[in-house]
Chain A
Amino acid sequence: MGSPSDIKKSVVIRENGELWLVTEFQHVNPGKGAAFVRCRVKNVKTGKTLEKTIKMSESVDLVEMEYRNMQYLYHDATGYAFMDSASYEQATMSDEDVGEEGKYLKEGMEVTLTVYEGQPIALQLPRKMTFKIVETAPAVKGDTASGNVTKEAKVENGFIVHVPIFVNEGDMVVVNTDTGEYVERSK
């Protein structure tokens, strides 16, 4: 048994014999009520998602999972393909299981997969990743006064990130993969 304070992304909770993967979580404290952790969970078998709120003083059954470092190979019609760098064993995850985070994957990169009964069920990316800006409007002279102003920029992987106006095409930028936000310009 574990405590709700150990709940984070990619842990798996067992309840009434069913396994639920935590995909998002947030600590909430409604002031006039007890402390809770609110999470979005996904049924490992059926894929059904649910919003669940657990009281901090409860105990939860956190399932011991296997975590494997694997290399991301490619994406095709069957989903995302990974390879265990030690055993050369390959595994595939569907687009649905990878979800939004697929956009960050770069061929050849190392990721940690949460594996249950031989099948990867969740993916953990490094929290910060560096991408090259391939398309963005040039900075306009005169509006550099405050750091608050942003513009859209397209990165090598094809997704859009909001960056400060001083960022140019060809720059490398660090992106927070939890929030999708720009962190800093990388050297």
Chain B
Amino acid sequence: MDIEKLKARSAVIKLIRRWFDERGFTEMHTPRLVGLPGQEPYLEPFWTEVIEESGPHHPAALITSPEYMMKRILATGLDRIYDLGPCFRNNEPWDGTHDPEFLMLEWYRRDSGLEDLMRDTEEMVKWVIEQFVVLNEGRQTAEVEGPFKKILRQAQDDERWRRLTVEQAWREYCGIELAPVLEDREAMAQVCRDRGQSVVDDDTWDDLYFKIFLSEIEPKLGEVPTFLHRYPASMSALARKSSDDPRWADRVELYIGDYELANGFAELSDPVEQHKRFEEEQLLRQSLGKKSWPIDETFIAALPQMGNAAGIAFGVERLVMLLTGSDSINDILPSSARERFSS
């Protein structure tokens, strides 16, 4: 347990809240315990049971993100809302960047798009870094050493952060034109084979995408703070399709150093399309032999009232790791899951 780092984490949380509060955002404190959590094929909720005193039992799960509730609140007409609290994901690697219980910040704006999300994120992070350094003036926690020093200086830079479309990233880092192979599994398989990656029968287009993305692009992406945006539509179940080409979707991720810090969307508000995508996700879960559960129809029904909103999820601890020069999330928690359950 490193008291200085716990204090730093606490300071960062306060600064984030202040940034949003001063800009007219309202914190929502959405429920952690829900009946129908998100059904993303590769996220695993923690399941438990809610028991009423009078007897009935209800299956319940801890949220993997506050997204559904936040969108339902947006649909009531409220604008500029945020939520900062723990989220829970089971069955993830305890590799220094994940803990099953972590702090997630999410914020939403009505009538907005990716550009607004990128601007908010960049301004908020730069302000938090600046204030954090002021708070720690003369104290050693501000003296970040090693590889983090350069990254932090870049993150603070006046220059606007790099914005790279997925298409540009593939071109820049591996010289591959992605547009012609979008949605074409066979063509993508050939690209993989040509670059020494294995291809197996049950590889989906997305799997093949990740084999190259994780090998050749992702490790280099955060060399300067970078917003990666405009994703293949198949990887963006909750995002609006790009207006000029439906094979792409308005999704963005932020990379700084070795970390992916945020993931956001121009939110899909078409209930029919959303229902279809949820059914596809449900089927994919089933074909992977995973538990599935009913689609949250209350959520779907609220979508049309949400308007053209945009929202983004941000990993608070990863920012704290950058600010305290910690290379493991375990160093900035009072007690990590690895400590509590594994050793």
Interface residues of A in 78-104 (CB under 8 A from B): none
- With A29-B42, A55-B203, A145-B140 as given contacts, are A36 and B196 in contact (CB-CB < 8 Å)? no
Q: Is A17 close to B, CB under 8 A?
A: no
- With A54-B198, A146-B4 as given contacts, are A27 and B93 in contact (CB-CB < 8 Å)? yes
- Which A residues are CB-close (under 8 A) to B325? 148
- With A31-B263, A32-B235, A34-B210 as given contacts, are A148 and B196 in contact (CB-CB < 8 Å)? no
Interface residues of A in 137-161 (CB under 8 A from B): 143, 145-150
- Which B residues are CB-close (under 8 A) to A147? 2
Find out whether the CB atom of A51 lies under 8 angstroms from the CB atom of B42. Answer: no
Whole-angstrom CA separation of A28 from B196 in the bound complex = 19
The interface size bin for chain A is 20 to 34
Find out whether the CB atom of B203 lies under 8 angstroms from the CB atom of A28. Answer: no
Q: Is B207 close to A, CB under 8 A?
A: yes
Q: Is B245 close to A, CB under 8 A?
A: no
Find out whether the CB atom of A31 lies under 8 angstroms from the CB atom of B42. Answer: yes
- Which B residues are CB-close (under 8 A) to A26? 95
Q: Which of A53, A57, A146, A149 contacts B197 (CB 8 A)?
A: A53
Q: Closest chain B residue to A146 by CB distance?
A: B140
Q: Which of B141, B202, B215 contacts A53 (CB 8 A)?
A: B215
Min CB gap A179→B, angstroms: 9
Whole-angstrom CA separation of A59 from B117 in the bound complex = 40
Whole-angstrom CA separation of A36 from B215 in the bound complex = 10
Find out whether the CB atom of B95 lies under 8 angstroms from the CB atom of A27. Answer: yes
Q: Closest chain A residue to B193 by CB distance?
A: A16
Min CB gap B321→A, angstroms: 14
Q: Is B40 close to A, CB under 8 A?
A: yes
Find out whether the CB atom of B145 lies under 8 angstroms from the CB atom of A150. Answer: yes
Find out whether the CB atom of B95 lies under 8 angstroms from the CB atom of A31. Answer: no
- Which A residues are CB-close (under 8 A) to B206? 33-34
Q: Is A15 close to B, CB under 8 A?
A: yes
Min CB gap B312→A, angstroms: 14
Find out whether the CB atom of B43 lies under 8 angstroms from the CB atom of A31. Answer: yes
Q: What are 19 pairs between A and B in contact, CB < 8 Å?
A: A27-B95, A29-B92, A30-B210, A31-B260, A31-B263, A33-B210, A33-B235, A34-B207, A35-B93, A36-B214, A38-B214, A52-B215, A53-B197, A54-B198, A54-B211, A146-B140, A147-B2, A148-B140, A162-B146
